[in-house]
Amino acid sequence: MSAEAARPPRFLGWATTEVFFVLSVLQAVLFALLAQNISQSLDLDATQLGYLGGVFFSTYAIGQLVFGSLLGRISARVLLSGTALVSAAGILLLASSEGLTSAILARVLVGIGLSSSFVGVIHLLSRDYGDRFAFMSSLSQSLANICASLMAMLSAAIPFLVDFRAPFRVIGVLLAISAVLMFLSVRKPAPSATASGRGPGLGAVLGMCLGSGP
């Protein structure tokens, strides 16, 4: 059997990375749904709770730029599985937090870890699916939104969602599992996709975008 035939199908790479992305959306919805419980459990006021949201979105935004520039330059499976483990550690730290300091650290780790989730999906689709990219990217976004909307609509009927710690522990464990699955299933690109060598860095990409004209 050839090395190419022995690799997992490309679908598995997308599917496991999509699970990572879905979990990233679900944790954001969970944080919003359970914000009052988080505030009460950690003894936070409205301003401190806002800090947790701001820290997450700041690190998430910066991480997207950084990891988006690194995908294609380093192994996608290493980057995606590694950041998934970082996010799992952050989620589990948040679930065990007792105050603001540990919660902020947890949200920093979660923001950094999850920032690769969507750009990872897009990277694999653009690399592996060619002219099906538009459909597959819309499918990826739709699946995540459907899962999030179902959880939001059913949250009142799920006793599990009364306290924030238990569902976040579950999300953390699932993120760790997704890290292992991505490491096992995300393939290297075909030789033609790597023939040109490493892609440009973040500064070069921004320069090309700003100088591209109308």
What is the dotted CATH code of the domain comprising 8-188+196-210?
1.20.1250.20
Q: What tens digit of pLDDT does each residue of 73-99 get? A: 889 999 999 999 999 999 999 999 999
74 SS3 class: strand
Confidence at 193, pLDDT banded by 50, 70, 90: very low
Question: For residues 9 and 124, is the Cβ–Cβ distance under 8 A?
Answer: no
Interval 9-34 mean pLDDT:
92
Strand segments, DSSP code E, in 105-150 are: none
Torsion 47-51-53-54 (CA) sign = positive
Q: What is the pLDDT of residues 97-148, one digit of tens each?
A: 999 999 999 999 999 999 999 999 999 998 888 788 899 999 999 999 999 9
Could you give the 3-state DSSP secondary structure of residue 212?
coil
Q: Residue 174 corresponds to which amino acid? A: L
Domain residue limits, the chain: 8-188+196-210
| Model confidence pLDDT, tens digit, residues 161-182 | 778 899 999 999 999 999 999 9
- Using alpha carbons, select from 133, 1, 14 the residue that is nearest to residue 77: 14
20, 80 in Cβ contact below 8 A? yes
The predicted pLDDT at position 104 comes to 96
Closest CA to 179 of 85, 72, 59, 50: 85
